[in-house]
Each structure stands twice: as C-alpha cells, then as structure tokens.
C-alpha cells in the first residue's frame, strides 16, 4: 500500500503573518494570494503545494505545541488512517471532507501534528 506520495503543504505560525508573508513575497518571490498563502505548481505535473502562515495564537496545530505542521498528500486517506491506528499511532478521530479533499491528522513521536490530505478526484 502506498503511504505518503508528496507534500501537500507547509504551514507554520508567525508572530505577524502579514509582515512575514511580505518578507517571503519581497525576498523570495512568493506569489501571495488574497487568503495569505501561496500555491506552487510543479513544472510538468498536475500537483500543487500550498504554503501558508498562521497567527501565533492559532489552535489549528493543537494538540501539538510546535509552530509548524507539514501536510502530506496521500492516495487513500481512510485506508492510511486505519493502518496508522493498527500500528498504534495517535490518530485524530476527526476527518474533514470538503471540496478541497479529505483531511486527517496523526501525531508523530515528538508531538508534532501531521496533516494527511487526499486531494479531491478530478
């Protein structure tokens, strides 16, 4: 069974998301969208990677206390979450499904929240 097949996004907290976003825009050339993040298109592929900043008081990464979270692209979220549970991993009971795809979460051994994302089928 395939597990992770790519990185879906990189997310981290910032003391001032607007200012830090402007730094990335100005110094590294990030093309920031109105929602505050950027989407990178791989050359020659139909895969995109999101980049976004969160306020330092955001609880989106909870229960992790780390200032970042990596989103990994997967082919079959429900099968992978079941496999992770069977392996004794700490898997969040919640799964979000929307027009953006399916999202699930697992904590790594050091308490980092890892987001797993199955993109919508096109």
* Predicted model pTM: 0.77
Round to whole Å and give the CA distance between 43 and 37: 19
Q: Are 14 and 60 in contact (CB under 8 A)?
A: no
Helix (H, G, I), strand (E, B) or coil at 97: strand
In the predicted model, residues of the chain with pLDDT beneath 70 are 42-46
pLDDT reported for residue 59 = 94
Number of helices followed by number of strands (H, E) in the chain: 2, 8
Tell the burial category of 95 from Cβ atoms under 10 Å away from its Cβ (0-12, 13-18, 19+): middle
pLDDT reported for residue 8 = 85
What residues contact residue 10 under an 8 Å CB cut-off, 6+ apart?
A: 49, 50, 51, 52, 68, 70, 71
pLDDT reported for residue 3 = 87
Residue 115 token pair: 């987001």
């Amino acid at each position: 069974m395939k597990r992770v097949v790519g990185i879906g996004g990189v997310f981290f907290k910032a003391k001032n998301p607007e200012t830090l976003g402007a730094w990335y825009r100005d110094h590294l050339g990030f093309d920031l969208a109105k929602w505050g993040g950027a989407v990178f298109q791989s050359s020659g592929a139909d895969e995109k990677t999101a980049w976004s900043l969160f306020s330092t008081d955001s609880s989106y990464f909870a229960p992790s206390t780390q200032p970042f979270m990596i989103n990994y692209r997967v082919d079959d979220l429900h099968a992978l979450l079941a496999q992770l549970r069977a392996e004794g991993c700490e898997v969040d009971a919640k799964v979000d499904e929307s027009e953006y795809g399916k999202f699930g979460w697992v904590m790594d051994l050091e308490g980092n929240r890892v987001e797993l994302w199955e993109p919508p089928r096109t």
